[in-house]
Amino acid sequence: MRNEEVLPIMASLLLDDFTLKDREGWEGRIEGGQGRFPDGRASAAIRGRIVTEQLPQNWSGYGSLQFTLHNPWDRAVVGGIELFDGLSLESPELEFGDYVERPKSLLIGEGITHVVIRIDPIQTTQGTRILDLGQVVRVAIRVPEPGEGEQPISIASLRLSPEHEEIDGIAYARPGDSVLVMRHLDISCFTYEPENYREPEDVVRLYRELTLEKEKLQDVIDTAEINGKQTLYARVALVTADIALKSRPNLAWHFSPRAKRSNLSGALSLAREERYNLERLLSSFRHEDDEDDSNLPIPLVKPIPDFKSLKIEGKAFVDTSGKPALVCAMSYHNEGTLLQFFSPERHKLEIYAVGGGSRYDIEWSPVYEAFHNYPGTERVGWRGWCGHLIKDQWAMGGRKENVVICLENQHILEAIDSYNRIHADDWRNDPSLMYVILGYELSYMCYCEDSLRRFREWLSNRHGNIGALNDKWGTEYKDFNEAEPPRTVVFGPEPDANRAAWFDWADWNTRRFTDHLHWSRDSVRKLHPVIPICAGGTHSMISPLNSTTGIDEEMIINEVDDVILHEGNDILSIDLLHALSEKPKPIVDPEHGGRCSRWLLNYFHGKSTLSMFWWPKQPSRQFPNSTLNAPMHGNMDIEFVAEHLRTALDVRRLNEEIAAFWDIPKETAILYSKTNMLQVPPELMNAKSTPFLTALREAYDAARCLDAGITFISEKQLLAGKTDRFKSIILPAVKHLPEAVFEALDRFVRSGGHILVLPESLVRDEYNRPADYLKRWGISVSKVELPEIKGFGEFVQRYDQNLERNVQYGTARKITAAKFHPTMTPWSFRMSGVFQELSISGGEAIAEGPSSEPMLVRVPIGSGVVWYAAGMPEKDSLAELVDRFFTESGIDRPLKVTDEDGRRVSGLEARLVRRRHDDLVYLVNESGRTVDYRIQTDRAIHEIRELRSLKYYKEAAGQIKDGQTLLFSLREDPSVRFQKKK
């Protein structure tokens, strides 16, 4: 007997072999014995989250929890794990991560992944303690649901293993499988014994072919460069070849033969195309405009701008010649191969000046000392997300500790100020910075004594006397000092919060937080006299939770920002932020979490800089979803990886053409109502959307595809009478409006404006009291049908108690117009969802339902017109309605884009800008399918060139793929004009 065999080696303990078909103990969608591993091992098919409390509870002495997964799909996905001990289930902190909560931590590549979760020890998500292995009472495993027609993921051999971070023998691992090891929050994912793996013959051949093709392409590029020709686009194919040959095969989830075939053959065809293209030009088989024998301007990619020479002019950063500079950067890249295509990320810096530190460095900040040395430095009364001030149990990265600060505390303020001074040298003399960010993705709410004192002072200014407040709040306070803001539970106000009081509290909170941002700006201004500053919380502006965040970008942009911070690819909010700015300012995007399909659209809508999040130096330690969204590391096709590099070059080459769209006329505004962002039923705050936000988005999406510029108007701007440049205004379910704002709208329409009202609008004031605004326009609503709000169960009836009206909850009313006014050509006009039974005095019905119920009415008011929709039109009907509304309001539209049959295409956005010798027209297809298009303008067209491909077109028509962006120059030949004159 050999020595090791007599040692008492602990064996693995099988918790579940997944062979029993209808096994009890697991909840969720699990079918024992139905899994499909290629080697036929016993396994279960699972979908979504499965959970059990029936496993042995004493895990002491084991090093890891292990199991094996089989992913039958052609993509990597992300799953998760949850472990609860006895203390977790009893814990008042359960909701705040007092268990191992890693719902998005398992990177599951195509094929087989052996999962090893180190349990000895493993920290809870809150980070305050180690999981008690003596009593593990609940285990949950989470995998994505299969797509339509797809097999589910399979799981085999759930077990406890004596190994800590190694796979054990029960895994039956083979070379080429993936291994995923989790240690606390961190994961490693790698290929098992790649050196012992044998590639299939065809993959070996592809490697060889691409290696050869890359050499040939390099030779042609060298030749072109000897001739002085720019070769940046061809270099994209070189980099792509390296990604397929060298980079992606390093990643376990790109190791499968299928992934390699796809990566190698994709890169091969790109390299071939670029080589042929260059060869033809070099041999004179084909000529380009930029040949030596013409004087045409050469469409070249410009060098990366010299950041220190840029100046702000209106919406643009301009270079010394006054031309707009557009910056397209890749996050974390300041050197290396990608800088052929992208600007360095270090054109901007977040300096954490709002809270005096970040989750990564707070322990070294004076704020940390103050936080631990003084009482009253902790945020009070609100346990929602920390809003980056500074970190809580959900904060990504950094050491685990809840440090959530109160911004009213003097010790904290002094510490922030000294943090800013200490760190000034990190950025003060950096010539590469175009701007600094005080902080972003911010939100804040605090109920400390100082907050309450300031709030009451503000209430007294707003309401004047306590009686006026009592009227609005429905309270009986004797003094402002008694006024209490509604309290919060977890993420929002209590379900039965006083909604009038919440409105004032949330409104004041935006004032308070903007004041703090302004203070932070001053703290930084002392350190640098001119560097452009910004701060913000972009997403809060379109979030149902806005009233808990303290974010009002209208205040921030006008009181804090030199440049406007917009994060992400949402164009509605780009247009919104531009609109909220009293004077034009550049928009910058420090963290663009979207792929390149929307980059050009973002620039067309007025973005000056963009830094894509992300192309990491290595896969993420904690967030596999981020890894899978990264171009090189993630799931995207290799052709699409290359498209990112080409788009970055297009942005640099077409800077002037893009910026030309920034000032096209915008004659229609959609009302962005702060009142309806703050006055939201508490139950709806954690929903995906509110009726106002849904209607805002639907109205915007309909209006943006009608060939005319659109924008937004705020309540503040309405009150200031800034309506002159608008012919029409759209009201998207603005249920609540202050009297004065309604009066401003009334003045706009009486003086000749057109207003389109989408339901439910104008029925209550900002304090949730009934308002008679509609009656003043001759519209009465006798009955309202509301669709049930999904997912709110018992809350449904409380969602909106309009006791004075007859409200029915139920399935939505679907209704199609049966009759139209003689002046209106009939169309398929359908509504579903909220529906109001209307009667009008003074106007006429434009469309009526089958029982002659008015669906759309037109009421003349003064010298203007109000269009009122009784229900919410379906998507296509809304687009058609807004199209007709634009025409009747006299919106100037020199451009019309339709399909081959002359019909508009929803999701196809186009704009025109007129120049001396050509019209520029961009076309972006977001319809979800390939579509035919035809462009019509009111100007002669003699030559058509698409400026991204530089191809000439015979006619202004063709096909555009889903997600594609085209930019046309429709040229008028001046000589034709002169010949006509003869």
| 632: DSSP letter | T
**Closer CB to Zn ion, 33 or 376, in the complex:** 376
CA distance 192 to 174: 7
Q: Tally helices (H) and strands (E) across the chain.
A: 23, 46
Token pair recorded at residue 923: 């076309």
Site for Zn ion in 791-830 (CB under 5 A): none
517: three-class secondary structure by DSSP:
helix
Nearest approach, Cβ of residue 380 and Zn ion (Å):
6
Least Å distance between CB 369 and Zn ion? Answer: 18
Determine the Cα–Cα distance for residues 564 and 534; give it in Å rounded to an integer.
6
Q: At what angle do helices 499-525 and 410-423 cross, to 10 degrees?
A: 40
Binding residues among 460-479 for Zn ion as defined by CB under 5 A: none
User: With respect to Zn ion, which residue has the nearer C-beta, 264 or 446?
Assistant: 446
Find where tokens 């090891």 sit.
181
Min dist CB 127 to Zn ion, Å, is 24
Among the listed ranges 10-18, 450-458, 742-750, 756-764, the one in contact with Zn ion (CB under 5 A) is 450-458
Sheet of strand 728-732, all strands in order from the earlier edge strand to the far edge = 709-714, 666-672, 728-732, 754-758, 864-869, 854-861, 844-848, 819-820
Instruction: Name the one range near Zn ion by CB under 5 A: 203-211, 262-270, 438-446, 961-969.
Output: 438-446
The residue (of 85 and 417) whose beta carbon lies closer to Zn ion is: 417
Return d(Cα 339, Cα 731) in angstroms, integer. 45
Q: How far is the CB of 515 from Zn ion (least distance, A)?
A: 13
Task: Please say which residue, 122 or 446, places its beta carbon nearer to Zn ion.
Answer: 446
Residues sharing a CB contact under 8 Å with residue 34, sequence separation 6 or more, in sequence order: 21, 43, 44, 45
Residues 306-365 that bind Zn ion (CB under 5 A): none
* N residues, the chain: 982
As measured in angstroms, the least distance from the Cβ of 544 to Zn ion is 24
d(CA 936, CA 973): 17
Q: With CA atoms as reference, report the closest residue to 531 among 341, 712, 348.
A: 348
Q: Which residues of 603-617 are buried (b: 16+ CB within 10 A; e: fewer)?
A: bbbbbbbbbbbbbbe
Least distance (Å) from Zn ion to the CB of residue 406?
Answer: 3
Name residues whose C-beta falls within 8 Å of residue 755's C-beta, 6 or more positions apart in sequence: 728, 729, 730, 731, 745, 748, 749, 864, 865, 866, 867
Nearest to 446 by CA among 503, 520, 389, 494: 389
Q: How many CB atoms lie within 10 A of CB 18?
A: 26
Q: What is the Cα–Cα distance from 761 to 600, expressed in whole angstroms?
A: 35
Question: One symbol per residue from 867 to 896: x for binding Zn ion (CB under 5 A), - otherwise; what is it?
Answer: ------------------------------
Stretch that binds Zn ion, among 238-246, 265-273, 445-453, 768-776 (CB under 5 A): 445-453
223 contact partners, CB below 8 Å, separation of at least 6: 278, 282
Residue 378 or 946 having the CB closest to Zn ion = 378
**Contact partners, residue 634, CB within 8 Å, separation at least 6:** 76, 627, 628
Measured from the CB of residue 419, what is the shortest distance to Zn ion in angstroms?
A: 18
Q: Which stretch binds Zn ion (CB under 5 A): 309-317, 361-369, 443-451, 738-746?
A: 443-451
# residues contacting Zn ion (CB under 5 A) = 5
Question: Would you give the binding string for Zn ion spanning residues 658-697, x where CB under 5 A is met?
Answer: ----------------------------------------
How far is CA 721 from its chain centroid? 32
We find the least distance from the C-beta atom of residue 133 to Zn ion, in angstroms, to be 40
Smaller CB distance to Zn ion: residue 406 or 572? 406
**Which range of residues in 171-179, 451-459, 550-558, 565-573 is near Zn ion by CB under 5 A?**
451-459
Of the candidates 154, 153, 184, which has an alpha carbon nearest to the alpha carbon of residue 81?
A: 184
| Among the listed residues 355, 345, 432, 342, the one whose alpha carbon sits nearest the alpha carbon of residue 392 | 355
The region of 189-197, 317-325, 440-448, 755-763 touching Zn ion under the rule CB under 5 A is 440-448
Long-range contacts of residues 22-30, Cβ cutoff 8 Å, at least 24 apart: 24/54, 25/52, 25/53, 25/54, 25/55, 26/50, 26/51, 26/52, 26/54, 27/51, 27/52, 29/152
Q: How far is the CB of 505 from Zn ion (least distance, A)?
A: 14
Q: Which residues pair with 565 in a beta bridge?
A: 588
| CA–CA gap between residue 852 and residue 464 (Å, rounded) | 49
The nearest distance, CB 357 to Zn ion, in angstroms, is 17
Rounded Cα distance between 660 and 805, Å, is 51
Closest CA to 590 of 395, 440, 397, 431: 440
Shortest distance (Å) from residue 10 CB to Zn ion: 52
Closest among 770, 789, 774, 852 to 818, alpha carbons compared: 852
CA distances from 843 to 803, 870, 880, 885 (A): 28, 14, 21, 16
Q: How far is the CB of 126 from Zn ion (least distance, A)?
A: 23
Nearer to Zn ion, 411 or 521 (CB): 411
Cβ proximity to Zn ion, 108 vs 407, nearer residue: 407
**What is the nearest approach in angstroms of Zn ion to the Cβ of residue 407?**
6
Shortest reach from residue 412's CB to Zn ion, in Å: 9
Find the binding residues for Zn ion in span 748-767 (CB under 5 A).
Answer: none
Within positions 369 to 428, which residues make up the interface with Zn ion, using CB under 5 A?
406, 408
Q: Which stretch binds Zn ion (CB under 5 A): 382-390, 444-452, 469-477, 803-811?
A: 444-452
In whole angstroms, what is the distance from residue 298 CA to residue 979 CA?
28
Q: Which residue of 160, 318, 446, 734 would you call a contact of Zn ion, by CB under 5 A?
A: 446
Q: Minimum CB separation from Zn ion for residue 509, in Å?
A: 11
Shortest distance, CB of residue 376 to Zn ion, whole angstroms?
Answer: 8
Nearer to Zn ion, 214 or 379 (CB): 379
Asked whether the beta carbons of 576 and 589 are under 8 A apart, the reply is no
Q: Which is nearer to Zn ion, 355 or 631 (CB)?
A: 355
452 makes contact with Zn ion (CB under 5 A): no
Report in angstroms how near the CB of residue 446 gets to Zn ion at its nearest.
Answer: 3
| In the complex, least distance from residue 379 CB atom to Zn ion, rounded to whole angstroms | 6
Segment 519 to 548, residues that bind Zn ion, using CB under 5 A: none
User: Which of 141, 404, 448, 628 is in the footprint of Zn ion by CB under 5 A?
Assistant: 448
354/730 with CB nearer Zn ion: 354
Cα→Cα distances 63→248, 306, 480, 916, Å: 32, 55, 60, 74
Choice between 451 and 523, CB closer to Zn ion = 451
Applying CB under 5 A, the span of 447-455, 706-714, 747-755, 837-845 interacting with Zn ion comes to: 447-455
Q: Give the C-alpha separation, 460 to 483, whole Å.
A: 10
Q: Which stretch binds Zn ion (CB under 5 A): 98-106, 442-450, 774-782, 869-877?
A: 442-450
Write out the residues near Zn ion by the rule CB under 5 A: 406, 408, 446, 448, 451
